[in-house]
Structure 1
Amino acid sequence: MTESAATPVPPVDPAPNPHATAEQVRAAYADPKLANVLYHDWEAGTYDEKWSISYDERCISYARDVFTAVAGTEGQPYPTAMELGSGTGFFLLNLMQAGVIERGSVTDLSPGMVEVALRNARRLGLDVDGRVADAERIPYPDGSFDLVVGHAVLHHIPDVPAAFREVLRVLKPGGRFVFCGEPTKIGDRYARRLGQATWWLTTNLTRLPALRSWRRPQEELDESSRAAALEAVVDLHTFDPTDLERTARRAGARDVRAVTEEFAAALVGWPIRTFEAAVPSEKLTLAWRLFAYKAWLRLSAVDRKLLVRVLPRELFYNVMITGVKPANGGR
């Protein structure tokens, strides 16, 4: 076989780097994409545990419900779907288990996250492939997918308009995108303040002799503090729902719609998450985890059934957005 007739060799994705050097971390403060790779490679192995991610009915129901809340049920099941910034595969894999998607692809800027997502897919017996991918230059041909999804990804992308254009490029004509779990401008403000106050209170109270068994070892607290500092680099944006809709329309999307969720749930959820990060994991018993989950469920129901009807959508913590590529493939 001649060289010109040889089958092209697909590019090899980079390997995960969970142990970045101090020099790499310093460089990451001036390079948001590098920061995302280093931070998420470091977190990949423990990310599901940190955010209480599972692949059972609890998270299957959550993924299905938030997807349906913004996009409805028309078009399900989607034959092919890609998750942008998939992390460990939480959104895509649970939507597949819910019957929303038949075949999936995971993409993330972090090689470590792609590796874990593919491992999770294999364990669940799901038909999934994956690539390390920059959201501003998605490595798939035009018109590859019926659906593109993402959860808590847009706020990490430096050029969100470019990402929307790429999403529309890889969608088939008439294909849909659904992004959930993005922080609103107002929601992020109160969530961060609640988290900071809870961290300060917990780490100081656990210095008291009677509560010392609830204090995480100092080296773990230091590591968490460094991670939190890098998290401030990877979190690039917060969104106003109306502005986000406008961005998607300018990229060429049609039938764009944004909805918001979590107000009461966020006011309680963020202190709970921060408290859990500040104490030894063995203190977080099954009874505690059930309490935290049920509290979130009840408050989410209050948000969904009552508060969403009376409060401006800008006050809620999360914004979700959907839109479609024009059926003729135009912009």
Structure 2
Amino acid sequence: MVTTGASAEEVEQAWADNKLAQVLYHDWEAQTYDEKWSISFDERCTTVVRDRFMHVLEATRRPDESLPYGRVLELGAGTGFFALNLKLAGLVDEVHVSDLSPGMVEAAKANAQRLGFEIDGRVADAEHLPYEDDSFDLVVGHAVIHHIPDVEAALREVVRVLRPGGRFVIAGEPTTIGHWYARHISRATWETATRVSRLPPFRSKWAREQAELDESSRAAALEAVVDLHTFDPAELAAKARRAGADHVGTATEELTAAFAGWPIRTFEYAVAEDALGFGWAKFAYGSWRRLMRVDAVLGRVVPQRFFYNVGVTGTKPLR
């Protein structure tokens, strides 16, 4: 945790102050977040974001609901992965981002500038958004609400800042069952890969430096502090309705893709960075995409709670 740039006192306090832990962790992650999660702003990620957004949207999309959306806010935007790729996909026009982490807000604004456009970014607590009522046509989020202490309060804020009839789409949240099997798969993969890579036949090429492994372990420990929730899809929908949303629906993704994706990604972290080349990256991404197509079929018959990712959508009631 030394690499966060925080003082020892702040680090110690973060274990008891979750808001501070969120800021410290995500400021730290902002330095390498895009590389860690293979985030880019090109056809590959734009396609993933467009497909994920539309998958959740179609759960309750109205026949008269036209694209693109005008003014959009990304909640807990991180480096802008979701909103910026939505803009590149032509699904939104004017982008605003908010995040509790100043480092993430700056990273998102820098990414937008590199893409050739400007965005508004604010450091903001999702439970107390610094925007007027009825400000946005669309609010989006990706892998964000599981970090927020009071999810229902955040959803009330989302509904408040939407214009009447406006929509929110939040995707990429962990289900309770999915989180359980992902955690166990990842742990088994990490232990196996780190041990095998240190055996004499593999050590020179595959073993990652111990300092890097220790850093990853510290990151995983702090990640457990900032990851606050997992969700049952039906209960998540109920939270959105209690927050005041209409036309609420959920959509899930990644079943077989999660069983392959988590060990693949964990293996990448556990071995030396230069041990894997372009061929591996092509295999990993191609396997995930193929299994996502399988999961689209399984989604017709398998209950939502067994998938890894859940998304929720809804609208602000018309007055």
Shorter chain as denominator, the TM-score bin is: over 0.9
User: Deviations along 1:256-296, whole A, 9 cap, x unmatched?
Assistant: 00011100000000001111111222122111101000000
1:258 alignment partner in structure 2: 250
Q: Is it true that 1:145 corresponds to 2:145 in the alignment?
A: no
C-alpha separation in 2, matches of 1:217 and 1:24: 27
Corresponding residue number in structure 2 for 1:84: 75
What letter matches 2:57 in structure 1? A
Q: Is the 8 A contact 1:155 1:182 kept in 2?
A: yes
Q: TM-score, normalised by structure 1?
A: 0.92
* Aligned counterparts of 2:136 and 2:4: Cα–Cα separation in 1: 31
Hey, what does 2:266 align to over in structure 1? Answer: 274
Within a 5 Å distance, the mapping from 1:70-149 to structure 2 comes to 70-72=56-58, 74-149=65-140
Once the two structures are TM-superposed, the CA of residue 27 in structure 1 deviates from its matched residue by 1.3
User: Kindly, what percent of the aligned residue pairs are identical?
Assistant: 62
Q: Determine the structure 2 residue equivalent to 1:231.
A: 223
Deviation at 1:309, TM superposition (A): 1.6
The answer on 1:244 being equivalent to 2:236 is: yes
The alignment partner of 1:43 has SS state of: helix
SS state of the match for residue 309, structure 1?
coil
RMSD: 1.1
Q: How far 1:39 moved relative to its partner? A: 0.7
What CA distance in whole angstroms lies between the structure 1 residues aligned with 2:52 and 2:66?
16
What are the ranges of 5 or more consecutive residues in structure 1 without an aligned counterpart?
A: 1-16
Residues 1:25 and 2:11 are matched in the alignment: yes
**Structure 1: distance between partners of 2:19 and 2:271:** 30
How far the C-alpha of 1:31 sits from its partner, in A, is: 1.5
Q: For residue 297 of structure 1, what is the aligned residue in structure 2?
A: 289
CA distance in 2, matches of 1:147, 1:156: 21
Deviations 1:27-60, CA, capped at 9 Å, x for gaps? 1111121111111111101101100111001111
Match of 2:193 among 202, 205, 210: 202
Looking at structure 2, the residues matched to 284 and 48 of structure 1 have their Cα atoms a distance apart, in angstroms, of 18
Task: Output the CA distance in 1 between the equivalents of 2:236 and 2:117.
Answer: 32
Question: Which residue number corresponds to residue 216 of structure 1?
Answer: 208
C-alpha distance in structure 2 between counterparts of 1:319 and 1:188, whole Å = 11
**Does the 8 Å contact 2:109/2:118 carry over to 1?**
no
- Measured against aligned partners, the alpha-carbon deviations of 1:129-148 in whole angstroms (never above 9, x if no partner) come to 10011000111111111000
Choose which of 180, 185, 200 in structure 2 pairs with 1:189: 180
The structural deviation recorded for 1:197 is 0.5
**Offset at residue 211 of structure 1 (A):** 1.2
Distance 2:171 2:108 in 1: 18
Q: How many residues align?
A: 311
- Once residues 176 and 44 of structure 2 are traced to their aligned partners in structure 1, the CA distance between those partners, rounded to angstroms, is 28
Determine the C-alpha separation between the residues in 2 that align with 1:53 and 1:183.
Answer: 19
- Corresponding residue number in structure 1 for 2:157: 166
Gaps of 5+ in 2: none
* CA deviation after TM superposition for structure 1 residue 127, in Å: 3.7
Of 66-75 and 167-176, deviating more is: 66-75
* 1:30 maps to amino acid: A
AA at the equivalent of 1:152: A
Q: Would the aligned equivalents of 1:150 and 1:180 in 2 still touch at CA under 8 Å?
A: yes
Q: TM-score, normalised by structure 2?
A: 0.95
Number of the residue aligned with 2:279: 287
Structure 1 stretches of 4+ with a deviation exceeding 2 A read: 72-75
- Give the C-alpha shift of residue 108 in structure 1: 0.5
Instruction: Name the stretch that deviates more: 42-51 or 65-74.
Output: 65-74
CA apart distance, 1:125: 1.4
The residue that corresponds to 2:314 in the other structure is 323
Matched residue type, 2:81: F
CA distance in 1, matches of 2:236, 2:181: 20
Quote the offset at 1:210 in angstroms. 1.2
> Cα offset for 1:193?
0.4
